[in-house]
Amino acid sequence: MNNYYNQLTEKIKNRNARVGVIGLGYVGLPLAVELSKSDYIVYGIDLDNKKIDQLLNGDSYIMDISNEEIKYITKYFKFTPTSNFEIIKDLDAVSICVPTPLTKSQDPDISYIIAVMNELKKYMHKGLLITLESTTYPGTTEELIEQELNNQGYIVGEDYFLCFSPERIDPGNTCYNTRNTPKVLGGTTRKCTKLGVELYSSFIDTIVPVSSPKVAEMSKLLENTFRSINIAFINEMAMLSDKLGIDIWETIDAANTKPFGFMKFTPGPGIGGHCIPLDPMFLAWKAKSSNFFSRFIEAAQEINKHMPEYVYNKVSYALNTHQKPIMGSRVLLLGMAYKPDIDDLRESPGLEIYELLRNGGANVEYNDPHAHSFTDKYGEKIVSVKLEYSRLAEYDCIILITNHKAYDNNILFNYSKLIVDTRNAFKEFDDPKIVKIGVN
């Protein structure tokens, strides 16, 4: 037991450990980059051969990672992208960073983790440190990894070491990144936790050890369920303020002057990204399996899912004031990514607003300086149109979905006939052609 533990500890301390990162998406690629910069021998494993080819050519497909970084770590450090899982036979540690989406029935889809485990079991060996980073329900690490390897005769904490450490990636965040964001980590045994901390603390500034994988799994869901519920609350207050003839944005600013007991959240057209729309449902699903029904989670999900429809109704109202129906109107959506200055379209509310408007008969186009195309629900590729300020008056309505820094609000205001503002980006403009959510 101590032999494997001591050997791996020494390898990590001396940077001789060979580390694999399975899944080279928004989580895995930044992790692989940081490991490589810390002098580890790193293998990035992904079944998408297009990604592997891009990385081998020095091309990054993630905004937060530059082409120069990829070229640097492949040339001067020991980073090797591959689609061959057989390399696990030669590794000392693997971090699993595969997607965990929801099914159509809003249940956790753990098929990617299962697929990884099917490959890992083929090439499993003693002395391996395994860390799951994919967001999932409490108990996943033990149920899908520990039990599977136990069935093969491996003893956790003796033959191999197992941890869960939830990712905290925030795409486009210029302040916090993989290295300086505190990282929670829980091992199945004390030695598992110690090894996990030893590895991750060598390339991440702050590690927060917890008593078990379940606590680590729950912590990620708690973080984002907290945000989901608070966003839902302020979204509901925006709709209520609309009914009462109150400006929710002015109200929030007033409440935010209190130096204690208030945390500022702002309304919007809906929630997007891979975390806030999905993570609460992992927790709700797990709660139901324990015969517990979470009213807060269900209510928050319902409110947040309703926001694109609320925006649609706001657009209908705005066009009506100009004697225009939605049917036949030319509409331009500004911003399709789920947050400013990134290209990430996952779960973006703009996608649903686009479909609602098109189903309502509007002639809809969109512009996004970062997200250049998306596939609609019919499988058609929709491409971002060029933003020509001088031609904005050709549109009956402009809808600001995502307030990218690239947009010049002064020019938008001057050239547009009607603007529906879902982000309070035009708060300095007092003009009837500006229609904001949360304001009647």
Question: Is 157 strand, coil or helix?
Answer: coil
Q: Which of 97, 192, 275, 397 is catalytic?
A: 275
Q: How many residues does the chain have?
A: 440
Report the alpha-carbon distance of residue 336 to residue 235 in Å, rounded.
19
Write out pLDDT tens, residues 371-415: 999 999 999 999 999 999 999 999 999 999 999 999 999 999 999
Q: Are 35 and 21 in contact (CB under 8 A)?
A: yes
Alpha-carbon torsion (290, 296, 298, 304), positive or negative: negative
163 is annotated as an active-site residue: no
pLDDT value of residue 172: 87
Output the pTM of the full model: 0.93
Confidence of residue 1 (pLDDT cuts 50, 70, 90): very low
Q: Do domains 2-211 and 227-436 have the same CATH topology?
A: yes
Report the alpha-carbon distance of residue 263 to residue 229 in Å, rounded.
13
Structure tokens at 226: 């907290």
Whether residue 250 is predicted with pLDDT greater than 90 in this model: the reply is yes
CATH of domain 2-211: 3.40.50.720
pLDDT value of residue 350: 97
81: number of CA atoms within 13 Å, CB side?
26
CA dihedral 404→405→408→409, nearest 10 degrees, is: 60
Write out pLDDT tens, residues 282-311: 999 999 989 999 999 999 999 999 999 999
pLDDT value of residue 2: 60
pLDDT value of residue 106: 83
Q: How many other C-beta atoms are found inside a 10 Å radius of the C-beta of residue 308?
A: 23
**Could you tell me the residue ranges of all domains in the chain?**
2-211, 227-436
Write out pLDDT tens, residues 140-165: 999 999 999 999 999 999 999 999 99
Report the alpha-carbon distance of residue 276 to residue 392 in Å, rounded.
33
Q: What is the DSSP string of 180-216?
A: TS-EEEEESSHHHHHHHHHHHTTTSS-EEEES-HHHH
- Which one is predicted more confidently, 195 or 174? 195
Average pLDDT over residues 177-206: 97
pLDDT value of residue 366: 98
CATH of domain 227-436: 3.40.50.720
Calculate the average pLDDT of the chain.
Answer: 95
